[in-house]
Amino acid sequence: MATTVQRSLRAGFWLGWKIESNWADPLLFLIYSVIRPLGSALILVVMFFAVSGGRRGPLLDFFVVGSAFWPLVLAGLQGLVTAVLEDRELWRMTRSVYTSPISWPTFLIGRTLAATLSAGFGGVVVILLTGRLFLGVPLTLSPGDIGLLAAVVAAGLAAILALGMLTVAGALMAASDAWHLPEAISASLYLVAGAVFPVALLPAPLQAVARALPLTWWLEALRRLLLPAGARLSFPSASDGTVLALLGVTTAAAVAAATVAFRLAERRARRLGLLDRDSGF
């Protein structure tokens, strides 16, 4: 018999998948999921040749890997917060979902995983292949590292969901500005977490923030797995073991902080009647 967590995750994933695919035929939606990121990847190629004339710079490989995996962050973090806000503001279904015999946070995570799967992983593959075929990015993943890559991606997803739940905790307490939180936080993380340029280029206070973020170590681990030795990194002096250890520690800390923050925000919102409050948008 399925547990409450399993039922909640399955129900959330099913609903999230139906919403993302707009109830389309699975094959048609699969084709769309490949074509959509392909357009963004081709824009990246055109920008490269238009700006640099085809000359490779020292940060091209660094930028391509960060750009390939960042859609997972957008789909996970923004999708999680948007699911809460849409249920509350647009569909007026928060009360029905919250009072049903499921785990509300697990249901939200299931919805977000569906959005991440449909919008994120296709973009990762397409952008990496485009970078390899058209930009000459030397991807060097060995067969023996596939398991480690899967573990690193899983840790990154856990970190993304944790940051998303932290943002949800803030959204439950915010007024009409809650709609702006996902974009503001994801844009800030894009700047600080080393997605487009090495963390060493940031001012010292922002470097300290970057080192505390699991996304920073997630992107660093991905680059070490996918790019050859000597590629540009955010922390070239750190060993691979140190990077993986810091990824695990910061991810665990983010999950713990998200669990506490969400429970506190949920209790306060329930006590004040804010869970299904209409902010007017």
In this predicted model, what pLDDT tens digit does every residue of 93-151 receive, in sequence order?
A: 898 999 999 999 999 999 999 888 876 677 888 889 999 998 899 999 888 999 999 99
- pLDDT above 80 for 30: no
Write down the domain spans for the chain.
Answer: 4-272
Dist CA 276 CA 265 (whole Å): 13
- pLDDT above 80 for 27: no
Dist CA 80 CA 17 (whole Å): 13
Distance, C-alpha 75 to centroid of its chain: 6
What average pLDDT does this structure show over 269-276?
Answer: 87
Closest CA to 63 of 203, 190, 151, 169: 190
pLDDT, position 154: 96
Dist CA 105 CA 10 (whole Å): 13
pLDDT, position 1: 43
Dist CA 123 CA 273 (whole Å): 39
The string of pLDDT tens digits covering residues 200-252 is 999 999 999 999 999 999 999 999 999 999 999 999 999 999 999 999 999 99
What own/partner pairs with CB < 8 Å and gap ≥ 24 does 139-145 have?
139/226, 139/227, 140/226, 140/227, 140/228, 141/225, 141/226, 145/225
pLDDT, position 280: 58
State both tokens at 178.
Answer: 């809650």
Q: Which residue has the higher pLDDT, 85 or 39?
A: 85
**Confidence bin at 279 (pLDDT 50/70/90):** low
Check if the beta carbon of residue 88 is closer than 8 Å to that of residue 94.
Answer: yes
242 contact partners, CB below 8 Å, separation of at least 6: none
State both tokens at 111.
Answer: 């919805």
Dist CA 69 CA 215 (whole Å): 11
Mean pLDDT value across the chain: 89
- pLDDT above 70 for 176: no
The answer to which of 144-148, 196-200, 263-267, 277-281 has the lowest mean pLDDT is 277-281
The listed range with the strongest mean pLDDT (23-32, 71-80, 246-255) is 246-255
Distance, C-alpha 99 to centroid of its chain: 28
Provide the whole-model pTM: 0.92
